[in-house]
Amino acid sequence: MAMQTHSGSCHCGAVRFTAELDLDAGTGKCNCSMCSKTRNWSVIVKPEQFHLVAGEEALSDYQFGTHAIHWSFCRICGVHAFGNGQVPEAGGAFVTIAVTSLDDVDDATLAAAPVRYCNGRDNDWQHAPAVTAWL
């Protein structure tokens, strides 16, 4: 697959977006407190590759820890479809998109997408946690 424009949304459809991304370039799963509790499986893009189409008024924001990431979620259905942040060590500004919020990607494509595991629980972002099967 190469760079493609995909559409995504929250569960109720109030929040909708498009994003230019390449799932073959890799996705990520993390064991930090937020990702493990939400079972977040994401793909990272630059802000200019993400476009909110509808629902800005339906979004609520959650931050914790260093407040480096804004975890957006739909206040109607509660689904977390994306977040954004600024982390210099990770290349600056980014948008993290929940892969499962993409509406136009089939199951086989999701199953084939490479996954990189991060040990966010220990702030060891360069190494996978010892156990990843539960992520």
Q: All domains of the chain, ordered by start, with CATH?
A: 4-102 (2.170.150.70)
Contact of 74 with 10, CB cutoff 8 Å? yes
Give the pLDDT band (50/70/90) at residue 129: confident
Largest CA distance in the chain: 40
Cβ-Cβ contacts under 8 Å for 66 (sequence gap 6 or more): none
Of 3-17, 37-51, 92-106, 116-130, give the lowest mean pLDDT range: 116-130
The residues that bridge with 52 in the sheet, in sequence order, are: 17
Over the stretch 32-86, which tens digit does the pLDDT of each residue have? 888 899 999 999 999 999 999 999 999 999 998 888 889 999 999 999 999 999 9
pLDDT at 103: 98
